[in-house]
Structure 1
Amino acid sequence: MNETLQHNAQIKSTDRRSLITPEGIDLQIQLADVGARIGAIVIDLVIINIALVLGFFVFVLAGITVNPEVAISLYIVFALFLRSFYFLAFEMGPKAATPGKRMMKIRVAARNTAIGQARLSANAIFARNALREIEIFLPLSFLMANTESVDGLVGLLGLIWSGLFLLFPLFNKDRLRAGDLIAGTWVVRAPKPLLGRDLAKQDSHKVYTFLFSAEQVEAYGIHELHVLETVLRTNKAATLQEVADRIRKKIKWEKSVQENDRDFLSAYYRALRKRLEARLIMGVRRKNKFDAR
């Protein structure tokens, strides 16, 4: 079973990376593609601009009844505050994602795995967003500005400057912005998790034809239970047969003529899980087959 798990673990996409949690768990994550990141920033900019338009009408109405100059000043402060803290506020939240990122099913994550830390800090969020003005808003402002009065060479240098930051994620394998590079972050996919069916309840009408002794169930531990669950969910005939034959040999089980490999493994999974859960209630946790009984 160990060989089967190792073989499955080796099948990785080029977009997959290792993320080590503070508890030392290696999570395989997938980098967000460029299209999702562009879509997210477009959605966020649309939201910001809608808020700015709505805010403008609110402050205009306030200016009519109070003081136009004060209203305009307050609106400028509001616009600066919104653009500066929109990304900070959402990315420092528990989901580490703006509305645009959540709609595109991506989020920000720490990539500092060298010392086993994967916690996203406020300093990292501030650093990556502080550079957003230089990376995105400054280039956009430059591209939309009237450059007729600007010297040709200066305009070309400004365009190159803008392009370097805007296209920076396309020229590194982790698709990092300059802000990500400095802050030690990256943007990863965060699809909505789908819970698999409970294998202990699946095909329950078939498992009662198999009766295992206490000694046979005691042959394996929690690690083997997890591997067996992976095998059952993968549901490949060759793997099911190989694993079933190994377990039969281990527990000295005689295969009958009509016995199905998947039914046998499902029944053994149910029995092993029930036994391990019962022992866990009593405070006994058996990590694997080599653990003392």
Structure 2
Amino acid sequence: MSSAPPYTTPIPPSDRRTLITPEGVDLQIQLADVGARIGAVTIDLLIISITLILSLFVFIWGGFAVNGELAISLFILFALFLRSFYFLIFEMGPKAATPGKRLMKIRVAARNTAMGRAQLSANAVFARNALREIELFLPLSFLILKSNDVDGMIALLGLIWSGIFLLFPLFNKDRLRAGDMIAGTWVVRAPKPILGRDLAKQSQESLESFTFTPAQVEAYGIHELHVLETVLRTQKIKTMNDVAERIRQKIGWTQMAGETDTAFLNAYYRALRERLEARLLMGVKRKDKFDTR
């Protein structure tokens, strides 16, 4: 089995961070550079702006014929909803990234794995995006108000406030926003691995010589499936050996004569994936090995 590693070039030491999963797997990640983050937020703000402009025409043309004040009120409510929930909805999704972040190949990730999980929680996503209102949107709103509503000094203070928070990632080694510090998150690179074939298809041949009992396949959930997929993609021999041994001990598997760790992991990946997909069809989603459903 051959596959390309997730990063085409070595990760610079200053950008490299270690993330230890509950299974003891060392997943080295690369911090997103400031340029990529600026590019991502610029794209997202552009998307929000274009959406607001288009929606304004829709509300005006569709609402003024009936009730002009109602149309404006609905537009204001829509603008507040879009500004408040755009980042929240996308970062709570499976990609943990807004369209801007996905285009720049970066995503949000959790920094704290002490509770046995490296996945983002809804509270973390909410916290980092709630701070964005204070960091960016609120002070910048002073700049677009009419001059008779806000004097020049307040507008200048708003600009300085926004500038401080925009430059905040430059002054800490993990390039964290204030929201990231409070939420326990960071922004990392997420380049798409280039693979010759799908992992599930790659394990078809090796699966034929392995037979797992339902109890053995039920030992893990979706989180562990993603970890196993990362291990198979990165192709680090020592990591694969360690993970294979952990899985064998967990499910009570006796290694067969001539059985390689690669073949075993491929077969178990295929069996686990098929089992989880079958359960999803029945409306059952097992998040991880601690989920008893």
Matched, 1:24 2:24: yes
Does residue 1:49 correspond to 2:49, yes or no? yes
Structure 2 match to 1:150:
151
3-state SS of 2:175 partner: coil
Whole-angstrom CA distance in 1 between matches of 2:84 and 2:112: 25
> 3-state SS of the aligned residue for 1:113?
coil
**What is aligned with 1:64?**
64
Distance 1:196 1:229 in 2: 21
1:227 maps to 2:225: no
Where does residue 79 of structure 1 map in the other structure? Answer: 79
Query: What pairs with 1:248-263 in structure 2 (closer than 5 Å)?
Result: none
Instruction: State the SS of the aligned residue for 2:29.
Output: strand
State TM-score, norm by structure 2. 0.61
1:20 and 1:117 in contact (8 A); partners too = no
Tell me if structure 2 keeps the 8 A contact 1:18–1:27: yes
Give the corresponding residue for 1:177. Answer: 177
Q: Please state how far the C-alpha of 1:162 moved relative to its aligned partner.
A: 2.6
Classify the secondary structure of the residue corresponding to 1:187: strand
1:129 equivalent in structure 2: 129
Partner residue, 2:109: 109
Q: CA RMSD in A?
A: 3.4
1:115 deviates by 4.5
* 1:238-276 Cα shifts (integer Å, max 9, x gaps): xxxxxxxxxxxxxxxxxxxxxxxxxxxxxxxxxxx9742
The superposition leaves residues 101-121 of structure 1 with CA deviations (integer Å, 9 ceiling, x where unpaired) of 000000000001344431100
TM-score, normalised by the number of residues in structure 1: 0.61
Q: Do the aligned partners of residues 141 and 155 (structure 1) sit closer, same or farther apart at CA in structure 2, a change above 3 Å counting?
A: closer
Report SS of the residue matched to 2:14: coil
Unaligned runs of 5+ in 2: 1-9, 203-234, 241-256, 268-293
Paired with 2:191 and 2:63, the residues of 1 have a C-alpha distance of 45
What number of residue pairs does the alignment pair up? 205
Paired position in structure 2 for 1:15: 15
1: CA distance, partners of 2:177 / 2:262: 50
Asked if structure 2 preserves the Cα contact closer than 8 Å seen for 1:22 and 1:119, the reply is: no
1:194/1:229 CA distance change after superposition, 3 Å? farther
Q: Secondary structure at the match of 1:139?
A: helix
Residue type at the aligned position of 1:150: D
Q: CA–CA distance in 2 between the matches of 1:162 and 1:278?
A: 51
Q: Judge conservation of contact 1:124–1:185 (CA < 8 Å) in 2.
A: yes
Distance 1:176 1:229 in 2: 29
Q: Distance in 2 between matches of 1:189 and 1:77?
A: 34
Q: Which moved more, 1:14-23 or 1:68-77?
A: 14-23
Alpha carbons of 1:197 and 1:125: their partners in 2 closer, same or farther (altered >3 Å)?
Answer: closer
Structure 1: which amino acid aligns with 2:189? R
User: Which structure carries more relative contact order (alpha carbon 8 Å, separation 6+)?
Assistant: 2
Residue of structure 1 in register with 2:206 after alignment:
none
Is 1:97 equivalent to 2:107 in the alignment?
no
Assess, with a 3 A threshold, how the Cα gap between structure 1 residues 160 and 56 changes in structure 2: closer, same or farther. Answer: closer
The alignment-based identity, stated in percent, is 70
Residue 58 of structure 2 aligns with an amino acid whose one-letter code is V
- The one-letter code matched in structure 2 to 1:104 is M
**Structure 1 SS opposite 2:28:** strand
Question: Which residue does 1:276 correspond to in 2?
Answer: 260
CA distance 1:41–1:277, change in 2 (3 Å): closer
Does structure 1 conserve the Cα–Cα contact (< 8 Å) formed by 2:142 and 2:155? Answer: no
Instruction: Tell me if structure 1 keeps the 8 A contact 2:105–2:191.
Output: yes
Distance 1:193 1:158, change over 3 A: same
Which residue identity is paired with 2:162?
Answer: S
CA 1:275/1:60 → structure 2, altered by over 3 Å: closer, same or farther? same
SS in 1 for 2:108: strand
TM-fit CA distance, 1:62: 1.6
Runs (5+) with no aligned partner, structure 1? 1-9, 202-224, 231-272, 284-293
8 A contact 1:31–1:174 mirrored in 2: yes
Question: SS of the counterpart of 2:64?
Answer: helix
Indicate if the aligned counterparts of 2:135 and 2:161 stay in contact, CA closer than 8 A: no
Instruction: Find the aligned partners of 1:276 and 1:195 in 2 and give their Cα distance.
Output: 21
